């Protein structure tokens, strides 16, 4: 069932998302060559806890019962999502995705960004530009009276028009008192289908797009999703609230560049 959030609940989700915005600002200087992924994860966890929140991903149990061992999903190059930080060192030219969740006073926020490490190829830079553009296209559809698949169609259309592919096995989701709520939000599909959007729906919209094929597989660790062809992937996510007008983007600063 899709829950409609009241004003109190929206403010509570917003407070969790405010922590995420602070953490993203603080962690950005660490997204450079030579930094260890485990140090970024430690920094993110400490930043969340210092603000009274709880890292939502640490200990989260997947479908196979394996708890996630870190506070941050750190996915590098061909890793699409759910990468385990470990001892890896960021290298010049990589694309690194950070996916971070926070629980504060019983409410959740969720955000993801793809960072460019040092000087990267033009193709990788374009991949990140398009994933951000596709998310913005999807968010524009998140208005009362439209259909859920209007978001999906807008994302897919933008991505494929630029020569990239949309991951189909993973999706966005509702959010609120749980990290993952109904509805699931695919990043592909025909328009005008699915539930009608209503003011007060809280959604985590998150396109995951690949440079090559859309096909992915899960690594032996049970968590890390990687592209089947080994080509890079990019991920961008915002927690938003549907309104009758412009959607509220709870995880993006007003001065963050488009």
Q: What is the pLDDT of residues 160-173, one digit of tens each?
A: 999 999 999 999 99
In sequence order, which residues have a C-beta less than 8 Å from that of residue 60 and are 6 or more positions away?
A: 67, 68, 101, 179
What does the pLDDT read at residue 195?
Answer: 97
In 117-247 the beta strands, taken as DSSP E runs, fall at 165-166, 172-174, 181-185, 202-205, 208-210, 216-218, 225-227, 233-235, 238-241
What does the pLDDT read at residue 242?
Answer: 98
What does the pLDDT read at residue 64?
Answer: 77
What does the pLDDT read at residue 256?
Answer: 57
pLDDT band at residue 255 using 50, 70 and 90 as cut-offs: low
> Rounded to an integer, what distance in angstroms lies between the CA atom of residue 178 and that of residue 176?
5
The pTM for the full model equals 0.95
> Rounded to an integer, what distance in angstroms lies between the CA atom of residue 78 and that of residue 234?
9
- Only one residue has tokens 């630029």, namely 162
Q: What is the pLDDT of residues 21-61, one digit of tens each?
A: 999 999 999 999 999 999 999 999 999 999 999 999 999 99
What does the pLDDT read at residue 62?
Answer: 76
Cβ of 89: how many Cβ atoms within 10 Å?
12
How many alpha carbons lie under 13 Å from residue 192 in its C-beta half-sphere? Answer: 0
For the segment(s) 7-249, the CATH number from 3.90.230.10, 3.40.50.720, 3.40.50.10490, 1.10.3720.10 is 3.90.230.10
Rounded to 5°, angle at Cα 212 from 208 and 217: 65
What does the pLDDT read at residue 245?
Answer: 92
Q: What is the pLDDT of residues 54-104, one digit of tens each?
A: 999 999 997 678 899 999 999 999 999 999 999 999 999 999 999 999 999
Q: What is the pLDDT of residues 103-145, one digit of tens each?
A: 999 999 999 999 999 999 999 999 999 999 999 999 999 999 9
Provide the pairing of β-strand 95-104 with 248-249. unpaired
What does the pLDDT read at residue 65?
Answer: 83
Q: What is the residue-averaged pLDDT of the chain? A: 96
pLDDT band at residue 253 using 50, 70 and 90 as cut-offs: confident
Cβ of 178: how many Cβ atoms within 10 Å?
15
What does the pLDDT read at residue 222?
Answer: 93
């Amino acid at each position: 069932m899709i829950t409609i959030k009241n004003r109190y609940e929206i403010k509570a989700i917003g407070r969790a998302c405010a922590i995420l915005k602070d953490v993203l600002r603080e962690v950005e200087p660490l997204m450079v060559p030579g930094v260890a992924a485990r140090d970024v994860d430690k920094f993110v966890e400490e930043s969340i806890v210092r603000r009274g929140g709880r890292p939502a991903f640490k200990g989260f149990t997947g479908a196979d019962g394996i708890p996630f061992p870190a506070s941050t999903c750190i996915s590098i190059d061909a890793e699409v999502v759910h990468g385990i930080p470990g001892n890896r060192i960021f290298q010049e030219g990589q694309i690194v995705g950070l996916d971070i969740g926070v629980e504060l006073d019983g409410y959740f926020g969720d955000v993801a960004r793809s960072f460019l490490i040092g000087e990267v190829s033009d193709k990788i830079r374009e991949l990140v530009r398009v994933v951000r553009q596709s998310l913005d296209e999807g968010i524009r559809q998140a208005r009362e009276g439209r259909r859920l698949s209007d978001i999906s169609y807008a994302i897919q259309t933008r991505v494929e028009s630029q020569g990239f592919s949309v991951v189909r096995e993973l999706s966005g989701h509702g959010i609120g008192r749980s990290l993952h709520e109904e509805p699931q939000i695919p990043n592909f599909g025909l328009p005008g289908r699915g539930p009608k959007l209503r003011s007060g729906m809280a959604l985590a919209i998150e396109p995951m797009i690949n440079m090559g094929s859309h096909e992915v597989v899960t690594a032996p660790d049970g968590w890390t999703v990687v592209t089947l062809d080994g080509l890079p992937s990019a991920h961008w996510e915002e927690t938003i609230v549907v309104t009758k007008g412009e959607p509220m983007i709870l995880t993006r600063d007003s001065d963050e560049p488009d």
